Structure 1
Amino acid sequence: MKFGFLFEKSIMLKRRPLGDHGLEVSEIGFGAWAFGGEWGEQSDKDSVGALHAALDAGVNLIDTAPGYGDGRSERVIAQVLASRTDHPLVATKTPPAPGPWPPSPYCRWQDRYSAAYLRENVQQRLQQLGTERIDLLQLHTWTRAWNEDPQPLLVLRRMKEEGKIRLVGVSAPEQDPNSVIPLMQTGLVDVVQVVFNLFQQEPAAELFAAAEESGTGVIVRVALDEGALTGKYKADHQFAETDFRRAYFAGDRMERTVKRVQAIADDVARFGLTERYHLADVALKFALSPSAVSSVVVGMRNVQQVSQNIATSSLPDLPEALLQVLQRHNWHRGVWYAGK
């Protein structure tokens, strides 16, 4: 079923293997966090239109979570999919029970991801999404403190055997992405989701190689650093009170970020690529450059953003020489999600 959203015929949305699980996903995936309203006011009409447009264009991976608007994002996705005949892969998440975020080294999995809690939450995800099986269920965060006794993942794998989950995953904590490598190596997870962008390049150290060796799918998030790497913000930009980025870029963070984004733009200009690649294209192509990456999920709030983001897939890969230069923008800046 088509919904009338037209894109240039030259746009070819490429697909990549999702690890060794026999599935292929669009290299640009749909990030549905904004559907919940945490990125400022968002109408369901715009959300529905954006998702229909993305699916019509060939996107077949949607990433969401119950925390995105207290289930609002999941409900909008369920509404859209109920009206279509295609079957994209929908990835959602189970958050830990209330406690520190990210989990501290002293958190016990029994308090954050007990078997009873996991089963109840997965049942809620099934109901919210209007499905009998979750395509990809990801624990929304993790701590290496649980690696020696990863019982929560054993519970999810039993639910996979029961037919309630197709694939098991973990959304790696941004401050310690390599904490999930042992889980990959022992086959406890089918897919990992990690932050990887021009500023945060730590997964390139070990995680990507471990993913290829273990056949684990890799979903990249925050490829645009919450919009900063598009180059559209000025140093004095202020986000709305309802936009989580107001805290993410609090204090002098936006000013510092903009200076670094300009340095990236200068590198791209030196290679003579400014007219062909927008900064957002460069950021997405960089995130897609490791062969271990299956898909990069990008937030898309309207049809225009869908068109812009999927067009990146048709562009040639960045020159290897430029990729090498862009590695210099790796930035050890701590966990900005905790606020200023």
Structure 2
Amino acid sequence: MNYRKFGKTGRTVSEVGFGAWAIGGAWGDVSEADARAALHAALDNGTTFIDTADVYGDGRSEKIIADVMKERGGERPFIATKAGRRLDPHVSEGYNKQNLTSFVERSLKNLATDCLDLVQLHCPPTEVFYRPDVFEVMEEMVTAGKIRNYGVSVEKVEEGLKAIEYPGVASVQIIYNIFRQRPSGLFFREAKAKNVGVIVRVPLASGLLTGKMTKETAFAADDHRAFNRNGEAFDKGETFAGVPFDVALEAIEEIRRLVPDNITMAQFALRWILMEESVGVVIPGAKNAAQAAANAAASDVAPLSPEVIGELRKIYEQRIAPHVHHLW
């Protein structure tokens, strides 16, 4: 496992982290035993960054993480959580001191700690990024010792660019993968210039970039890949990176020929992300120990050649960009 400086936090973290959405919910059935095994495997393989949220399984993900930390003992990894999506309705006005403080207190309890490493505003309405008072509330919680750092999780590049205008924002979590390449332009340059830690989510486009899916692949009713393809529950860009399923499957076949024989397509896709030096950590999810170990191993994959990167860019521009580039 290789490690990178994580922006202005002063921390160094594993470049492959653990995304804990799948062990919380909305990815089909994941038993608690498998969830724990996945997290243990990630940590055993050098992972030192875990990303979760208070709404993943309504706290299930945070609580499983806390239990595993208690079992293992020793130094805790860097644990990032998120706040805001508990709001109903999810509107800008809800991002106020009372609600945010309440969410943070709940996460402190769920994660069994007295100070959270990082709290991210969880894909708030765009208007929130234009409200300095929200970021002042986060500053107050740093001063109070409730959180060490705060950041944002965004849907759109423009939201990320606006967020990093606030000097206290330590991190931005954003979707970036072979099917979502827009952040590699202006956003990454600006984030690096301002020493903001970049967390990459949806790195495998909800599993598409494992190369294991077909037109016949079926998903459980409680799996967002079944119920959110058109944004019925939340932003459609979170599901398959917003790419139409059939379009993505055709592109996958073109990508497949570029993958070396000694690695999986998932590891290839993660290595592509790690070629970007502005990325602090990528957070693939895992439903079991084998997936978590394989994800961690992507850190040791050889760099991709300029020729391969160029071919992937062509596939994106010709097949994928017309569907996603202008939207996020």
Structure 2 length normalisation: TM-score?
Answer: 0.89
The one-letter amino acid of 2:200's match is: V
Equivalent residue for 1:277?
A: 263
1:98 maps onto 2:88 in alignment? yes
Q: CA deviation at 1:306?
A: 1.5
Equivalent residue for 2:237?
A: none
1:295 maps onto 2:307 in alignment? no
1:86 maps onto 2:72 in alignment? no
Secondary structure at the aligned position of 2:134 is classed as: helix
**Deviation per residue, 1:196-230 (Å, 9 max, x gap):** 00111111121100111000000000010000011
The one-letter amino acid of 1:256's match is: V
Q: How many correspondences in the alignment?
A: 307
Q: CA deviation at 1:334?
A: 4.8
1:236–1:255 CA contact under 8 A, matched in 2: no
**Deviation per residue, 1:273-308 (Å, 9 max, x gap):** 531332112210111121110000010111111121
The one-letter amino acid of 2:175's match is: V
Equivalent residue for 1:172?
A: 154
Distance 2:129 2:62 in 1: 29
Distance 2:124 2:100 in 1: 14
Equivalent residue for 2:47?
A: 59
Secondary structure at the aligned position of 1:79 is classed as: helix
2:54–2:81 CA contact under 8 A, matched in 1: yes
Q: Which runs of 4+ in 1 moved over 2 A?
A: 142-150, 247-250, 252-256, 330-335
Secondary structure at the aligned position of 2:9 is classed as: coil
1:244 to 224, 238, 244: 224
Q: CA deviation at 1:237?
A: 1.3
1:143–1:179 CA contact under 8 A, matched in 2: no
Equivalent residue for 1:5?
A: none
What are the ranges of 5 or more consecutive residues in structure 1 without an aligned counterpart? 1-12, 101-106, 336-340
2:180 to 183, 188, 200: 200
1:22 to 10, 24, 31: 10
Equivalent residue for 1:73?
A: 61
2:154–2:160 CA contact under 8 A, matched in 1: yes
Distance 1:112 1:288 in 2: 36
More helix by share: 2
The one-letter amino acid of 1:300's match is: A
Equivalent residue for 1:264?
A: 255
1:236–1:254 CA contact under 8 A, matched in 2: no
Distance 1:18 1:182 in 2: 20
Over the aligned positions, Cα root-mean-square deviation in angstroms equals: 1.8
Matched ranges for 1:107-126 at <5 A: 109=92, 111-126=93-108
Secondary structure at the aligned position of 1:16 is classed as: strand
2:312 to 313, 326, 333: 326
The one-letter amino acid of 2:7's match is: G
**Deviation per residue, 1:179-202 (Å, 9 max, x gap):** 121321331310110000011111
Distance 1:158 1:143 in 2: 21
Secondary structure at the aligned position of 1:304 is classed as: helix
